[in-house]
Amino acid sequence: MRLLVSRTAVVTAMLALAGAVAVSAPLGRSMVAQSTATQPIGKIRQAPHSLPISSPTAMPSAQSPVAISPVPTPTTRPAPAARPAVAIGTGQLSLINQDRAAAGLPALRWNACLAAIAAQNGARMAAQGFISHTNGPTLDLGCHIGSRAGENVGYLSSGINDVKMNAMFMASAAHRANILGAYHYVGVAWVVAPNGSAYIAVEFG
């Protein structure tokens, strides 16, 4: 059905059929309302298969709004990031002392304080994703084992390999100088990042 409202009159059609909508408009405006009925006004007949007029289907109206509760959005907590694995061992110590013995130098002794600093620096590098020197030698002096301090740091994308890393250190003049330096103690730590890359810090004192 199509209901037209002109500028001079208000026409309200109320139908008892299911699915019909009552529409009214204020004076001074034109409004067009559409429904599924096709009969003209004044000749309204019950459509086939419609509900009885005496028992209309309830429809929400403008005077009876229906409150719709919002659907809660499911929340998921992100999985905690994997922590780097710290490996403190004496594999590098044995290789360093072999290098020193070949050069006629005394062996270095293991120091737990230096090893703890090495683990701290290794974890920092693993977290940042690249090798760097910060305050390693300064922290080494805090162990109060002498007036000299040094540090070698390295990185292997394939994981821990003491032999390969020692060869790389000895092939570098600056790293070799620390290995054969006038030190008495050493502490070493490998830290493996979640992606498998291994970072090493060697602290001398």
**Which pLDDT value is given to residue 42?**
40
Name 172's Cβ contacts closer than 8 Å, sequence gap at least 6: none
Tokens representing 204 are: 């001398």
**Which pLDDT value is given to residue 74?**
55
Nearest to 7, CA basis, from 25, 34, 33? 25
Q: Which of 16-30, 90-104, 122-136 has the lowest mean pLDDT?
A: 16-30
Q: Is the pTM of this model over 0.75?
A: no
**Which pLDDT value is given to residue 146?**
86
Distance between start and end Cα atoms, the chain: 96
CA distance 156 to 165: 8
Q: Judge contact between 189 and 201, C-beta under 8 A.
A: yes
Q: What is the DSSP pairing of strand 109-110 with strand 185-192?
A: parallel
Q: Where are the domains of the chain?
A: 1-47, 85-204
Taking CA atoms, 18 is separated from 35, 57, 129, 141, in Å, by: 10, 5, 69, 90
pLDDT higher than threshold 50 for residue 158: yes
Q: What is the pLDDT of residues 114-152, one digit of tens each?
A: 999 999 999 999 999 999 888 777 888 889 898 899 999
> Fold for domain 85-204?
Pathogenesis-related Protein p14a (3.40.33)
Give the mean model confidence (pLDDT) for residues 92-106: 98
Q: Judge contact between 186 and 97, C-beta under 8 A.
A: no
Nearest to 174, CA basis, from 160, 199, 154, 147? 154
